Protein backbone atom coordinates (compact mmCIF):
# COMPACT_ATOMS: atom_id res chain seq x y z
CA UNK A 1 0.00 0.00 0.00
CA UNK A 2 1.29 3.42 -0.93
CA UNK A 3 1.63 6.11 1.67
CA UNK A 4 1.40 9.51 0.05
CA UNK A 5 3.43 12.44 1.20
CA UNK A 6 1.71 15.70 1.98
CA UNK A 7 -0.02 17.28 4.90
CA UNK A 8 -0.75 13.98 6.61
CA UNK A 9 1.06 12.78 9.68
CA UNK A 10 4.01 10.47 9.09
CA UNK A 11 3.11 6.79 8.76
CA UNK A 12 -0.53 7.59 7.99
CA UNK A 13 -2.52 5.72 5.36
CA UNK A 14 -4.58 7.48 2.72
CA UNK A 15 -8.36 7.13 3.00
CA UNK A 16 -8.39 5.66 -0.51
CA UNK A 17 -6.12 2.86 0.65
CA UNK A 18 -8.36 2.19 3.66
CA UNK A 19 -11.40 2.07 1.39
CA UNK A 20 -9.64 -0.42 -0.84
CA UNK A 21 -9.10 -2.68 2.16
CA UNK A 22 -12.78 -2.63 3.02
CA UNK A 23 -13.92 -2.98 -0.57
CA UNK A 24 -12.00 -6.07 -1.59
CA UNK A 25 -9.89 -8.16 0.71
CA UNK A 26 -8.65 -10.29 -2.21
CA UNK A 27 -7.48 -7.20 -4.07
CA UNK A 28 -5.64 -6.00 -0.95
CA UNK A 29 -3.91 -9.40 -0.67
CA UNK A 30 -2.90 -9.31 -4.35
CA UNK A 31 -1.53 -5.79 -4.01
CA UNK A 32 0.43 -6.83 -0.92
CA UNK A 33 1.85 -9.85 -2.75
CA UNK A 34 2.52 -8.37 -6.21
CA UNK A 35 2.55 -4.63 -5.65
CA UNK A 36 0.20 -1.96 -6.92
CA UNK A 37 0.32 -2.14 -10.70
CA UNK A 38 -1.46 0.98 -11.82
CA UNK A 39 -1.84 1.38 -15.57
CA UNK A 40 -0.64 4.64 -17.18
CA UNK A 41 -4.23 5.44 -18.14
CA UNK A 42 -5.40 4.99 -14.55
CA UNK A 43 -2.57 7.19 -13.29
CA UNK A 44 -3.62 9.95 -15.72
CA UNK A 45 -7.19 9.65 -14.45
CA UNK A 46 -6.00 9.78 -10.84
CA UNK A 47 -3.97 12.93 -11.49
CA UNK A 48 -6.92 14.54 -13.29
CA UNK A 49 -9.15 13.71 -10.33
CA UNK A 50 -6.65 15.16 -7.87
CA UNK A 51 -6.40 18.32 -9.99
CA UNK A 52 -10.19 18.69 -10.18
CA UNK A 53 -10.51 18.13 -6.43
CA UNK A 54 -7.93 20.86 -5.73
CA UNK A 55 -9.70 23.26 -8.14
CA UNK A 56 -13.07 22.57 -6.54
CA UNK A 57 -11.62 23.08 -3.06
CA UNK A 58 -10.17 26.48 -4.01
CA UNK A 59 -13.37 27.61 -5.75
CA UNK A 60 -15.67 26.46 -2.95
CA UNK A 61 -13.43 28.11 -0.33
CA UNK A 62 -13.52 31.38 -2.25
CA UNK A 63 -17.30 31.21 -2.60
CA UNK A 64 -17.75 30.39 1.09
CA UNK A 65 -15.46 33.25 2.12
CA UNK A 66 -17.20 35.65 -0.27
CA UNK A 67 -20.53 35.24 1.53
CA UNK A 68 -21.19 38.13 3.90
CA UNK A 69 -24.14 39.29 5.92
CA UNK A 70 -25.71 35.87 6.31
CA UNK A 71 -25.96 35.22 2.55
CA UNK A 72 -23.99 32.01 2.08
CA UNK A 73 -24.94 31.11 -1.50
CA UNK A 74 -22.05 32.83 -3.28
CA UNK A 75 -23.09 31.45 -6.62
CA UNK A 76 -25.99 33.77 -7.39
CA UNK A 77 -26.76 35.99 -4.41
CA UNK A 78 -29.61 38.13 -5.69
CA UNK A 79 -31.32 35.45 -7.78
CA UNK A 80 -31.10 33.04 -4.84
CA UNK A 81 -32.87 35.53 -2.57
CA UNK A 82 -35.60 36.71 -4.94
CA UNK A 83 -36.20 33.54 -7.00
CA UNK A 84 -34.87 30.81 -4.71
CA UNK A 85 -31.56 28.92 -4.89
CA UNK A 86 -33.05 25.98 -6.82
CA UNK A 87 -35.34 27.93 -9.15
CA UNK A 88 -34.87 27.03 -12.85
CA UNK A 89 -34.14 30.67 -13.73
CA UNK A 90 -31.48 30.85 -11.01
CA UNK A 91 -29.88 27.74 -12.48
CA UNK A 92 -30.08 29.25 -15.99
CA UNK A 93 -28.37 32.44 -14.79
CA UNK A 94 -25.63 30.36 -13.15
CA UNK A 95 -25.18 28.37 -16.35
CA UNK A 96 -24.96 31.61 -18.37
CA UNK A 97 -22.33 32.90 -15.98
CA UNK A 98 -20.35 29.66 -16.16
CA UNK A 99 -20.57 29.11 -19.92
CA UNK A 100 -20.41 32.68 -21.19
CA UNK A 101 -19.10 35.17 -18.66
CA UNK A 102 -16.26 33.14 -17.19
CA UNK A 103 -14.70 32.71 -20.64
CA UNK A 104 -13.76 36.38 -21.02
CA UNK A 105 -11.66 38.75 -18.96
CA UNK A 106 -14.42 41.36 -18.80
CA UNK A 107 -16.92 38.67 -17.82
CA UNK A 108 -14.69 37.50 -14.97
CA UNK A 109 -14.26 41.11 -13.84
CA UNK A 110 -18.05 41.49 -13.84
CA UNK A 111 -18.43 38.33 -11.79
CA UNK A 112 -15.84 39.58 -9.29
CA UNK A 113 -17.64 42.91 -8.95
CA UNK A 114 -20.98 41.15 -8.56
CA UNK A 115 -19.58 38.86 -5.85
CA UNK A 116 -18.24 41.88 -4.02
CA UNK A 117 -21.30 44.14 -4.17
CA UNK A 118 -24.32 41.86 -4.41
CA UNK A 119 -24.36 40.26 -0.89
CA UNK A 120 -25.49 43.47 0.85
CA UNK A 121 -28.02 44.10 -1.94
CA UNK A 122 -29.34 40.55 -1.55
CA UNK A 123 -29.57 41.00 2.22
CA UNK A 124 -31.51 44.24 1.73
CA UNK A 125 -33.84 42.55 -0.78
CA UNK A 126 -34.42 39.81 1.76
CA UNK A 127 -36.01 42.39 4.08
CA UNK A 128 -37.96 44.26 1.36
CA UNK A 129 -40.36 41.75 -0.26
CA UNK A 130 -42.15 44.22 -2.56
CA UNK A 131 -38.89 45.30 -4.16
CA UNK A 132 -37.71 41.69 -4.27
CA UNK A 133 -40.81 40.76 -6.31
CA UNK A 134 -40.00 43.49 -8.82
CA UNK A 135 -36.39 42.31 -9.07
CA UNK A 136 -37.61 38.73 -9.52
CA UNK A 137 -39.82 39.81 -12.42
CA UNK A 138 -36.91 41.68 -14.01
CA UNK A 139 -34.57 38.69 -13.58
CA UNK A 140 -37.08 36.35 -15.21
CA UNK A 141 -37.38 38.76 -18.17
CA UNK A 142 -33.58 39.00 -18.46
CA UNK A 143 -33.31 35.22 -18.34
CA UNK A 144 -35.88 34.81 -21.13
CA UNK A 145 -34.10 37.47 -23.21
CA UNK A 146 -30.71 35.75 -22.80
CA UNK A 147 -32.20 32.36 -23.68
CA UNK A 148 -33.86 33.83 -26.78
CA UNK A 149 -30.54 35.34 -27.90
CA UNK A 150 -28.79 31.98 -27.42
CA UNK A 151 -31.56 30.12 -29.18
CA UNK A 152 -32.10 27.66 -26.31
**CA-based angle 12:15:19, to the nearest 5?**
125
Instruction: Kindly indicate the confidence band of residue 23, based on its pLDDT and cuts at 50, 70 and 90.
Output: low
Q: Is the pLDDT of residue 71 over 50?
A: no
The winner for highest mean pLDDT among 17-21, 22-26, 76-80, 121-125 is: 121-125
| 59, pLDDT greater than 70 | no
**CA 79, CA 122: separation in Å to the nearest integer?**
8
Q: Cα(109)–Cα(37) distance, rounded to whole angstroms?
A: 46
The answer to whether residue 68 scores a pLDDT higher than 70 is no
- Asked whether residue 72 carries a pLDDT value surpassing 50, the answer given is no
Question: How sure is the predictor about 75, in pLDDT bands with cuts at 50, 70 and 90?
Answer: low
pLDDT at 95: 85
pLDDT of residue 74: 40
DSSP annotation of 8: S
Residue 149: is its pLDDT beyond 70?
A: no
Q: Is the pTM of this model over 0.85?
A: no
Residues contacting residue 89 through CB under 8 Å, at least 6 positions apart? 79, 83, 139, 140, 143
| pLDDT for residue 7 | 59
User: What are the C-alpha distances in Å from 68 to residues 57, 107, 125, 138?
Assistant: 19, 22, 14, 24
pLDDT at 143: 87
Amino acid sequence: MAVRRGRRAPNSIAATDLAKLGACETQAMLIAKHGDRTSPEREVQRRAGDHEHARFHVESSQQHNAGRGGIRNARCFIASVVLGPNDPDTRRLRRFRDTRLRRTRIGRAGIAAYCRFSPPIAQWLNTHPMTARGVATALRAITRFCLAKEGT
